[in-house]
Amino acid sequence: MRRITASWIRDLVAQLCLKANFTLRGDVITQLKSAYIREKGKRTKDILAAIMDNSAIARRENLAICQDTGMPCVFIEIGQEVIIKGDLKKAVNKGIEDGYKKGCLRSSVVRDPLLRGKPVYGPAVIHIDIVRGDKLKIIVLPKGFGCENKSRLRMFNPTIEINAIKEFIIETVKMAGPEACPPYIIGVGIGGTADYATFLAKKALLKKIANSPLRKLSNPIKKLEQELMAEINKLNIGPMGLGGKSTVIGVNIETYPTHIAGLPVAVNISCHALRSATGII
């Protein structure tokens, strides 16, 4: 067994909060750059240039990429040979507080969802998984709520055609329209149960985004991702919703076995500022 002290976890979470909020993911920057090249309109190009300038300023000056530094979502994979000395969840939430305070990140969480009150830093939404090995992996995903508010879940019949699922996903993006800060990255969860599908949709945002030529893909899920991307990009929502070919710069799908009687599909939209950072102890 390998011992990991809770204070190491606290320190790592704090670092990851800063990294995620100041440094836009490389895969996102790459796709923003190709969107800039693809677009022809001056205003569309200007908006994409502003988004890229913004990420450069944020990185250079340790400023939050977006003032909505999100509800912190923390994904933890604990190796089954790990023993944690101390309180894991407390360490994560203390780490969030340390990181957010240090980075002047925004307190955007209210302790009571109905009574609201003064915003604080946490707690984070924590997802814990037990895996093989003796390592502990932590991913921090600060999720802004402009886009989180556009999430949807539908429980389809098991006999449904894939086209109806595609339509649901496309409709979700249409409903988000200009409000959730396009160009978007779309996370889709297919299968499991209602709760698990929504979890998968969020988890899908952690995967690298890519734009691969359709003909080269043999994996049906990868193919579906690219087909969705092509179809959504015909909607002409574009950056800031003011038109263009870049409504989405990534579609990621996660799947899981499901019940014979159903087919849950969940969609979690991310704004262009898809922020996450990973660390391993």
Based on the shown chain and the rule CB under 8 A, indicate whether residue 149 belongs to the binding site for another protein: yes
Based on the shown chain and the rule CB under 8 A, indicate whether residue 116 belongs to the binding site for another protein: yes
| Site for another protein, residues 16 to 55, rule: CB under 8 A | 43, 47, 50-51, 53-55
Q: How many angstroms separate the Cα of 212 from the Cα of each of 49, 172, 202, 230, 233?
A: 23, 23, 22, 11, 14
Alpha-carbon distance of 10 to 5, in angstroms, equals 9
Q: Which stretch binds another protein (CB under 8 A): 59-67, 187-195, 215-223, 257-265?
A: 59-67
Residues 6+ apart with CB under 8 A from 255: 189, 190, 191, 200, 221
| Partners of 252 in the β-ladder | 187
Output the smallest distance, CB 68 to another protein, in A.
7
Q: How many angstroms separate the Cα of 178 from the Cα of each of 117, 173, 184, 204, 266?
A: 29, 9, 10, 22, 20
Q: How many angstroms separate the Cα of 210 from the Cα of each of 132, 172, 174, 271?
A: 28, 21, 22, 16
Q: Which is nearer to another protein, 121 or 168 (CB)?
A: 121
Q: Which is nearer to another protein, 18 or 188 (CB)?
A: 18
Among 184, 203, 205, residue whose Cα is nearest residue 192: 203
Element at 268 (helix H, strand E) = strand 263-270
Residue in 40, 118, 132, 215 binding another protein, rule: CB under 8 A: 118
Output the smallest distance, CB 240 to another protein, in A.
6
The neighbour count for residue 29, using CB atoms within 10 Å, is: 15
Q: Detail the DSSP E strand segments found in 157-261.
A: 184-192, 248-258
Residue in 31, 44, 108, 246 binding another protein, rule: CB under 8 A: 108
- The contact pattern for another protein, residues 242-271, with x = CB under 8 A and - = no contact, is x----------------------------x
Q: Which is nearer to another protein, 178 or 262 (CB)?
A: 178
Q: Which is nearer to another protein, 60 or 216 (CB)?
A: 60
Output the smallest distance, CB 201 to another protein, in A.
20
**Residues interacting with another protein, by CB under 8 A?**
43, 47, 50-51, 53-55, 57-58, 61-69, 104-108, 116, 118-119, 146, 149, 177-181, 240-242, 271-273
